[in-house]
Chain A
Amino acid sequence: MKLAAREELCSGCRACELVCSMKNFSQPNPKRSAVRVAGAFPAPGRFSIVYCDQCGVCAEVCPVEAIRKVDGHYEIDADLCTGCMVCVDECPHGAMFSHPDDDVPFKCVACGECVAYCPRQALVDEDGEVAWAGVEAKKRAV
């Protein structure tokens, strides 16, 4: 699963932030989402999406090698992580996050839920493994 964004389609609804935090942290909380939407208003009047493209820079810079590639995406091993947050500073996309209550940062683990549930299909899986949930839903409805 490799995330890509078509920002011009984004409506700013942030369903992606809500499903990400529900799926990965069992609570509705955009501050625990690994994908983020930002708006540029009043002008030019559009949204941009911060997301992890699994570039691996975080793994390179981690001083204790706590970030490793698993099934095509990068994951943090919480047991090894020292909470130094260098990865947060070094992520070229701003897609490594830390929450004030946690010692360990968090990132996208390529679960694909945001792709499935973005109502605008602004987030897609470049590998084509995860489909938009509407495809099957529409088939079932007919």
Chain B
Amino acid sequence: MAETKLFGYGGRIVRVDLSRGEVSIEPTPEDLAREYIGGRGFVARILWDELEPGVDPLSPGNKVVMAPGPLSGLFLPGSGKIEMGAKSPQTGLYGEGNMGGHLAGELKFAGYDALIIEGAASEPCFIVIDDEKIEIRDAGKYWGKGAFEAEKMLKDDLGGEFQIATIGPAGENMVTYAVVSHDFGRQCGRTGVGAVLGSKKVKAVAVRGSRGFPVADPERVLAKGKEMYEACFAKPGFEEWTPYGTAGVTDWINEIGAFPTKNFHTGYFEKHKQINGPTLRDRILILDKGCMGCPIPCGKYSKVDYKGRTIYVEGPEYETIALMGGNLLIGNIEEVAYVNYVADELGIDTISGGSVVAFILECLEKGVLTPQDVGRDVKWGDADGVAWLLERIARREGVGELVARGVKEAAERIGKGSERFAMHIKGLEISGYESRFAPAMMLAYMTADIGAHHNRAWAITYDAAVGQDVIEGKAAKVIELQHVRPLFDALGLCRLQWVEIGFELEHYADIFPIVTGWDYSWEDLLRISERIWNLTRCFNRRERPDFGRAWDLPPPRWLEEPLPSGAGKGRCMSRENAEKMLDEYYELRGWDANGLPTRAKLEELGLGFVLEKLELD
């Protein structure tokens, strides 16, 4: 049967079976591309189709799927994003992250729309994709090295043209919040994708591509790309936002009382100006570094002379400023950059890592853990102590072993009331927005599919606009954001041009048809995003038969402790209001009272096949 040519796609999927040591290439199925687009859509559908329900995430039966999207690798703003997903070893649910850099494009240029890694190797290895030549090679000399260290070695050994993704020692040791690193400063997969690769003994993936990929109407795609760049150049944010990147929001977040401070004890950090965007630029920045095609490079590549060592780090960006700055009471930009560097080289997610460290510090403060238990009396704001803890975590030594699977499990093991300050939802640590004075953001965290992450919906400005005390009527906005933002993750694009400088969504609607040749409207694309949203919800239910409303609730601190300071002083979410928000949310989504998609909703979205493998009431 003749294969239909796909436009905007590499046209092939690579499958690497590490147990057999075999590589196979399949054509990208047209219906998969038409119905799931790419990126996150491919990850979700492939994991649903191919994983055995109940598979141990750190066993050979789990799979890692890496996928760019049809708009990755194009001449258009923000065309550099790749998704990586697997069943999460931390949450036991759907796990996925995205990152920029240049890997998404390179995989497309090599001719591929997805890489599926399955089974497990018996010895450390790395996967090399060089157009049609794909090999599994011995990684003995790289195993044990830091994430950047290994990337540098591989670039030297293979050639600078290769785009490399690595795991650090934390991934090798299967710390469940280990991430994948790339391009000397980008990371993804905070649900433990790095750990899954570590369980398969995959140290790195290296890609070089020279084949390019076809687009339906090259002339119009080029003209539209030019129009898109010109539109970005003309935005005030192009000049205003770029110098600080995501760090630029630090002061405002403090002003509205949403800055994680001292393990989410409060929402305002007195020293926020010492770790904000202008301070970063002033004191440590050496380069504005960008992902493929990006006109507003958010990468703040920095150099710090820290106690006699010179370290380089791409950051700290906002999340790290929040979770390793305010959340640990480190009010000094050089110190935040230093602990950022330590986490990055070890391959530890700075969000979860920051939250785990904060949890340990609060345990120490409350006497739930003693300095003998921890091995060191680490104080709030103690950057060297934090760095020491990160090393212990990466190597799973002492206290590191206790917390290597995240705060939820650590609190279950430690007990003594520590569950009350383990800041997670669904087992994933909360990212950079203290939400007791931002109900829409809290709802966003409660309902994100992978656990508490802001990628899916960022609703703080909406809270500020409509009223930070208002509870009713916020679900619709959260749902809207949960369709638009993850759509970028399916298209293989960065959303920050839209999010940060107001680049219009219409541009993406315009270019999609002329790249793919498919007459999809923006509404069609949002419908696919809604499909993927419901699919991952079902994935979670399939993995955990008790999955439902109870999993969507906020942590005890957010239900029991009013904010002690800042703009939101005295505010707290109540169980009653949280349930009210969920009621409204489930109803608008067409889900039942337990937060599960109804049969009608699944049929409507073309997800009827889900019912073959999942029983829903």
Instruction: List, in ascending order, chain A residues with CB within 8 A of B292's CB.
Output: 13-14, 18
What does the 1/0 interface line of A31-55 toward B look like (CB < 8 Å)? Answer: 1100000110111011100000000
- The answer to whether A13 touches B222, judged by C-beta atoms less than 8 angstroms apart, is no
- The answer to whether A19 touches B75, judged by C-beta atoms less than 8 angstroms apart, is yes
- The answer to whether A29 touches B297, judged by C-beta atoms less than 8 angstroms apart, is no
Query: What is the bound-complex CA distance between A78 and B411, given in angstroms?
Result: 70
With contacts A11-B297, A13-B293, A39-B160 taken as known, whether A31 is within 8 angstroms of B209 at the C-beta atoms is yes
- The answer to whether A11 touches B290, judged by C-beta atoms less than 8 angstroms apart, is yes
Question: Cβ of B32 < 8 Å from any Cβ of A?
Answer: no
- The answer to whether B291 touches A133, judged by C-beta atoms less than 8 angstroms apart, is no
Query: What is the bound-complex CA distance between A30 and B297, given in angstroms?
Result: 19
- The answer to whether B212 touches A29, judged by C-beta atoms less than 8 angstroms apart, is yes
- The answer to whether A29 touches B211, judged by C-beta atoms less than 8 angstroms apart, is yes
**Closest residue on chain B to residue A19 by CB atoms:** B75
Question: Cβ of B74 < 8 Å from any Cβ of A?
Answer: yes
Instruction: List, in ascending order, chain B residues with CB within 8 A of A27's CB.
Output: 212-215, 218
Interface size class, chain A: 35 or more
Question: Cβ of B503 < 8 Å from any Cβ of A?
Answer: no
**Closest residue on chain A to residue B233 by CB atoms:** A134
- The answer to whether B222 touches A22, judged by C-beta atoms less than 8 angstroms apart, is yes
- The answer to whether A134 touches B74, judged by C-beta atoms less than 8 angstroms apart, is no
Query: What is the bound-complex CA distance between A21 and B148, given in angstroms?
Result: 30
Interface size class, chain B: 35 or more
Question: Cβ of B513 < 8 Å from any Cβ of A?
Answer: no
Query: What is the bound-complex CA distance between A15 and B230, given in angstroms?
Result: 13
Distance in Å: Cβ of A95 to nearest Cβ of chain B: 15
Instruction: List, in ascending order, chain B residues with CB within 8 A of A132's CB.
Output: 233
Instruction: List, in ascending order, chain A residues with CB within 8 A of B232's CB.
Output: 119
Distance in Å: Cβ of B108 to nearest Cβ of chain A: 8
Query: What is the bound-complex CA distance between A104 and B229, given in angstroms?
Result: 32
Query: What is the bound-complex CA distance between A140 and B75, given in angstroms?
Result: 22
Beyond A32-B212, A46-B286, A119-B295, 18 additional contacts (C-beta under 8 Å) are: A11-B289, A14-B293, A15-B75, A15-B229, A15-B294, A18-B292, A22-B222, A27-B218, A28-B108, A29-B109, A29-B212, A41-B152, A43-B310, A43-B312, A47-B287, A137-B230, A137-B231, A141-B234
Q: Can you give 29 contacting A-B residue pairs, CB < 8 Å?
A: A11-B287, A11-B290, A11-B294, A11-B299, A12-B289, A14-B293, A15-B295, A19-B225, A22-B225, A25-B212, A27-B214, A27-B218, A28-B73, A28-B74, A28-B75, A28-B105, A28-B108, A28-B215, A30-B109, A38-B160, A42-B152, A46-B286, A99-B210, A119-B290, A133-B226, A133-B233, A134-B230, A136-B230, A141-B234
Partner-A contacts on B (CB < 8 A): 73-75, 79, 102, 105, 108-109, 148, 152, 160, 183-184, 209-215, 218-219, 221-222, 225-226, 229-235, 238, 286-297, 299, 301, 303, 310, 312
